[in-house]
Structure 1
């Protein structure tokens, strides 16, 4: 928790609790001072310089990994793509056959009305898809 205190990652209440304890406990107060000093020293250090060959090593690793073909993964993706295509085709056929088997029926449309109750307005009308009456609040 002291590390989080030094990094200012605690909530306000937690910060106050740690600070209060550090003032009353000599060991914890000393450790907190050491952690703060170490953080300050580390933040003053310059960032390390990468070696001159680092970019070349990274690019060589990337190129080597791009050339590797895993046949098992390629087969899995092919099977998966075929399965997805088969399911999509089956769904499309089912939807087309259902649409031709059941003719669409006209839905009686209700004229929307406004009903005021308890300082709220409600729109009452018919659901255009199912024909069921529906009530929707239009004000808050």
Structure 2
């Protein structure tokens, strides 16, 4: 079908032509298909349905919406709250990553260790965001 595997994610496959782009993300028994042409995506899903039993769980009003953009800069934001859990004094780190104006990744979780300062908490949060970007 002309797809190439991604070097950064083993579950991501891409197909680029001079006019169209198609992305295929496979995770266990879930498949996400998107591209720059609605007809191309629908045609690909139709071709898959000839071989596999498919169930379409998405609609145009559900799911993660991706927008066309003239800028594809990767931008990350991080934040943390120092020692907010009164029981174990662990901090919470959170971050979100954008490509252009599209949110592509986010996280908010309690840190595994107790940090000694708010600076250490912020550093851990930035490190987690940067690891996700790379």
TM-score when normalising by structure 2: 0.23
Please state which structure has a larger fraction of its residues in strand.
2
Determine which structure has the larger helix proportion and give its number: 1
Which structure is richer in relative contact order (CA contacts within 8 A, separation 6 or more)?
A: 2
**Higher gyration radius (CA):** 1
